[in-house]
Amino acid sequence: MKVSLDKSKCMVCGSCVGLCPAVFEMAGDGTIDVKKEMKDVPSKLEGDVQSAADACPATAITVEK
Ligand code: SF4
């Protein structure tokens, strides 16, 4: 699974960071992003990433299987 985040849509609500802090983080500039090393999601985290994508109020998170 690959994950990407569209910063132009993100409302910085923090939901994805709360649901899956291993993959999503707040960057130094105050935006939310996928951690560089987590763009290819480890299989054990796929469920949490899917939950974060489903819960994103801005549909800013895209997953590819
Ligand atoms: S859940 Fe969506 S809108 Fe909220 S911080 Fe994450 S990507 Fe941004």
* Domain boundaries along the sequence of the chain: 2-64
Q: Is 25 helix (H, G, I), strand (E, B) or coil?
A: strand
Q: Are 33 and 25 in contact (CB under 8 A)?
A: yes
Q: Give the pLDDT score at 1.
A: 98
Atom 2 (ligand 1) nearest CA: 56
Q: Which fold has domain 2-64?
A: Alpha-Beta Plaits (3.30.70)
Q: What share of the chain is helix, strand, coil (3-state, %, to 5)?
A: 30, 25, 45
- Mutation choice for ligand 1 from 56, 59, 62, 63, CB with most ligand atoms inside 8 A: 56
Q: How far is the CA of 5 from the centre of ligand 1 (A)?
A: 8
pLDDT in tens, 2-59: 999 999 999 999 999 999 999 999 999 999 999 999 999 999 999 999 999 999 999 9
